[in-house]
Amino acid sequence: MRTYRYFLLLFWVGQPYPTFSTPLSKRTSGFPAKKRVLELSGNSKNELNRSKRSWMWNQFFLLEEYTGSDYQYVGKLHSDQDRGDGSLKYILSGDGAGDLFIINENTGDIQATKRLDREEKPVYILRAQAINRRTGRPVEPESEFIIKIHDINDNEPIFTKDVYTATVPEMSDVGTFVVQVTATDADDPTYGNSAKVVYSILQGQPYFSVESETGIIKTALLNMDRENREQYQVVIQAKDMGGQMGGLSGTTTVNITLTDVNDNPPRFPQSTYQFKTPESSPPGTPIGRIKASDADTGENAEIEYSITEGEGLDMFDVITDQETQEGVITVKKLLDFEKKKVYTLKVEASNPHVEPRFLYLGPFKDAATVRIMVEDVDEPPVFSKLAYILQIREDAQINTTIGSVTAQDPDAARNPVKYSVDRHTDMDRIFNIDSGNGSIFTSKLLDRETLLWHNITVIATEINNPKQSSRVPLYIKVLDVNDNAPEFAEFYETFVCEKAKADQLIQTLRAIDKDDPYSGHQFSFSLAPEAASGSNFTIHDNKDNTAGILTRKNGYNRHEMSTYLLPVVISDNDYPVQSSTGTVTVRVCACDHHGNMQSCHAEALVHPTGLSTGALIAILLCIVTLLVTVVLFAALRRQRKKEPLIISKEDIRDNIVSYNDEGGGEEDTQAFDIGTLRNPEAIEDSKLRRDIVPEALFLPRRTPAARDNTDVRDFINQRLKENDTDPTAPPYDSLATYAYEGTGSVANSLSSLESVTTDGDQDYDYLSDWGPRFKKLADMYGGLDSDKDS
């Protein structure tokens, strides 16, 4: 037997809105004040064996921002299995269960514990279930229901930006779009007018307006001029509730800038300008600046300057300074005070970017008059040409005139001019110039093959004012003369095979010539007359500036003649004819059957071993090197046998003999015989060296006695020669004493020792005539004479 169960849901809504009486399943703005019981019944007995849920849920509503002191009552959950004995337990789960929403597990009453904000969460989805307390098993299937939060107008409209920035061209028509502002309301747009926003303008009239529904700001005044006012601040209000009384509102600020359009033409502040410039100003020199003013900005204020008419249309130019928008007047061509002193120009300033819709305002250009006065300056001489080109033959003699240059003073004074050559451009002083008439002539012989072009600079200087000078380049080309003989292009050394046939080509000859004839080179080749008759070779001229050496007989023998010297005469075809003789070396060689050279030396056939000459030379060098090494080694061992007797760090290899004899003074006439110096034969025999062990004893040679009239220089040279040729002389430096005084002097002795023994008195009066430097000496000796006389 099927048991039919009923589950009752009782909602008690404690919201004080008694005027609503619609069922809960219908959307209302409130809830009834008394309890309403919704009985959810099961299926009838005629249905199939399937249990229908005993409860059914619709969505329920709560007002947001509830301000009561008690919990807000939501509804009551009741099951038909509930007997009121506390055996059932009601459970609530889902969004906010246990926190925002609580349920009395015994009675099933559901309450909201906190203020709810629809803008935070508009809908809550919960699940309800009834279980048996004892068994913990559900007595009803779990079911889901929705609690929807009803909106109230608790949020004001908020703009997407606190401050808007917009631009609009000046002089725009009324109704021109500027910018669109947008405000949003967090309230429910589907419920009432809480989120219906209306826009209005609080500040900015009468210049701008705003559409109430879209928030689009437009211009409301015609011909707004940026030059009069550029910035505007507009305040826009957004109000909900459709703008009705009691609605909430928010505001935003819109900063609107009028952008520039080209509605103003350029204007010169004055109608006439005057400038001065010296006549020496080079092209491109700025003379002055003019500027037209334009009230516009940016590219609309850009100005182009041009010279439209005037006397100096081709002498001056005007360019625009892009940074300052000024017109810079510059020199276009060289000025001449003597020709014209004053120029008048008409300069026009115009806008390059013009808007056609503003052409009715007038032409967007202006004009001014510019007067330019040319100032006179002392100018340097001016040559008749910018550069001179002259020609001269290379065989020209010294002092040959090449040409002339001309320069004159452009000033009215017409000061005389002198000419000179810049020696920095003619270091070798090959050319010279007549300082008076500018004639150029040679001062040295020329050679085209050494230098084809001579580039020099001529200077013209005013005689009255040397600071004023000018220069001009002078290019001198040296014309060719046939003064060089042709010669071989290279050194020719060839070979001929021993088995060569007659008329066989063994070498092709080529020639070069330093000259450069106008019609080109034409060389002819031939054997020298002295070799033409008995030569074993012939020369064939190919008539193309080449020639071939041909054999004249069959077969050659390198043992009879290994080398032939072939003199070849090379001549050119120019005037005067130049020729030279070159020698071609032809070696006779052994060749293979292909004609390839194998050996060109006759002595190579006598070596039975087959070694080449290079190998034999290498072997010979090795033997010589070995012998030299052995000899050097033996000499070193022999040198080591010489042990010095004196082993000391202070051995300076000098033969110094010390005699510790003290003389007896001037009275001792027997201590030393001074006559020895005058008689070389009395010199003691040569003594042997004491610092090394003598290898052999050589008898000392007796040097011949010097004649009494022998000069000291001859004596020293004689002894020097003897020591150089002496085989017993040591290999290192030693002290050689040349004790020879000589035969005397014609000036006699300068010593004062003998003067005291003379009876004659000396006269020193002449010292007084030698000047102030000898005055002291004259007083000393003159005083002695005075004392003696007294």
Kindly give, in sequence order, each residue whose CB lies less than 8 Å from that of residue 237, ignoring residues fewer than 6 positions away.
199, 200, 201, 202, 249, 250, 251
Q: Cα–Cα distances in Å, from 547 out to 495, 523, 724?
A: 16, 9, 64
Burial of 84 (0-12, 13-18, 19+ CB in 10 A): exposed
Q: Give the mean pLDDT of 437-451.
A: 93
Amino acid in position 525? F
Q: Is the pLDDT of residue 2 over 70?
A: no
DSSP assignment of 73-93 equals EEEEE--TT--SSS-EEEEEE
Lowest mean pLDDT across 84-88, 92-96, 205-209, 699-703 = 699-703
Question: For residues 483 and 395, what is the distance between their CA atoms, to the nearest angstrom?
Answer: 9
Smallest CA-to-CA distance from 266 within 292, 290, 296, 291 is with: 292
Kindly give, in sequence order, each residue whose CB lies less than 8 Å from that of residue 589, ignoring residues fewer than 6 positions away.
495, 496, 497, 498, 558, 597, 598, 599, 600
Going from N- to C-terminal start, the domains of the chain cover 59-150, 158-259, 272-373, 382-479, 487-599
Q: Taking the CB of residue 318, how many other CB atoms lie within 10 A of it?
A: 23
DSSP bridge pairs for 202: none
CATH dotted code for 382-479? 2.60.40.60
CB 196 within 8 A of CB 240: yes
Question: For residues 271 and 288, what is the distance between their CA atoms, to the nearest angstrom?
Answer: 15
Burial of 449 (0-12, 13-18, 19+ CB in 10 A): middle
* Predicted local distance difference test score (pLDDT) of residue 531: 82
Question: For residues 51 and 555, what is the distance between their CA atoms, to the nearest angstrom?
Answer: 138
Question: For residues 316 and 330, what is the distance between their CA atoms, to the nearest angstrom?
Answer: 6
Per the structure block, which two tokens stand in for 211? 């559409």
Q: Taking the CB of residue 565, how many other CB atoms lie within 10 A of it?
A: 9
Q: Give the mean pLDDT of 693-716.
A: 57
* pLDDT category of residue 358 using cuts at 50, 70 and 90: confident
Residue with tokens 């043992």: 559
The three-point CA angle 219-262-289 to 5° equals: 150
CB 470 within 8 A of CB 457: no
In the chain, the percentage of residues whose pLDDT exceeds 90 is 36
Within the chain, what is the greatest distance between any pair of CA atoms? 197
* Predicted local distance difference test score (pLDDT) of residue 147: 82
Question: For residues 527 and 520, what is the distance between their CA atoms, to the nearest angstrom?
Answer: 23
Would the CATH topology of 158-259 be identical to that of 382-479?
Answer: yes
CATH of 487-599, one of 3.40.50.300, 2.60.40.60, 3.40.50.880, 3.50.50.60: 2.60.40.60
Q: Cα–Cα distances in Å, from 274 out to 245, 339, 342, 343, 447?
A: 73, 20, 10, 10, 60
CATH topology of domain 59-150: Immunoglobulin-like (2.60.40)
Q: Give the mean pLDDT of 515-519.
A: 84
* Predicted local distance difference test score (pLDDT) of residue 21: 29
CATH topology of domain 272-373: Immunoglobulin-like (2.60.40)
- The string of pLDDT tens digits covering residues 3-56 is 333 333 333 333 333 323 233 333 333 333 333 333 333 333 333 334 444 444
Question: For residues 324 and 381, what is the distance between their CA atoms, to the nearest angstrom?
Answer: 39
Q: Is the pLDDT of residue 709 over 90?
A: no
Q: Is the pLDDT of residue 789 over 60?
A: no
- The string of pLDDT tens digits covering residues 621-648 is 999 999 999 999 888 887 766 555 444 4
CB 503 within 8 A of CB 551: yes
Amino acid in position 317? D
Q: Is the pLDDT of residue 778 over 70?
A: yes
Smallest CA-to-CA distance from 390 within 401, 402, 398, 382 is with: 402
Q: Find how far residue 477's CA is from the centre of its chain.
A: 40
Lowest mean pLDDT across 361-365, 497-501, 673-677 = 673-677
Q: Give the mean pLDDT of 460-478.
A: 93
Q: Is the pLDDT of residue 700 over 90?
A: no
* pLDDT category of residue 731 using cuts at 50, 70 and 90: low
- 607 or 436, which is more confident? 436
Question: For residues 571 and 776, what is the distance between their CA atoms, to the nearest angstrom?
Answer: 89
- The string of pLDDT tens digits covering residues 399-440 is 999 999 999 988 878 889 999 999 999 999 999 999 999 999
Question: For residues 179 and 168, what is the distance between their CA atoms, to the nearest angstrom?
Answer: 9
- 722 or 556, which is more confident? 556
CB 336 within 8 A of CB 379: no
Asked: is 158-259 a CATH 2.60.40.10 domain? The reply is: no
The pairing of strands 198-203 and 158-159 is unpaired
* pLDDT category of residue 273 using cuts at 50, 70 and 90: very high
CB 390 within 8 A of CB 292: no
* pLDDT category of residue 737 using cuts at 50, 70 and 90: low
For the four alpha carbons of 53, 59, 65 and 68, in that order, the dihedral sign comes to negative
For the four alpha carbons of 18, 22, 26 and 32, in that order, the dihedral sign comes to positive
CB 371 within 8 A of CB 290: no
432: helix, coil or strand? strand
DSSP bridge pairs for 769: none
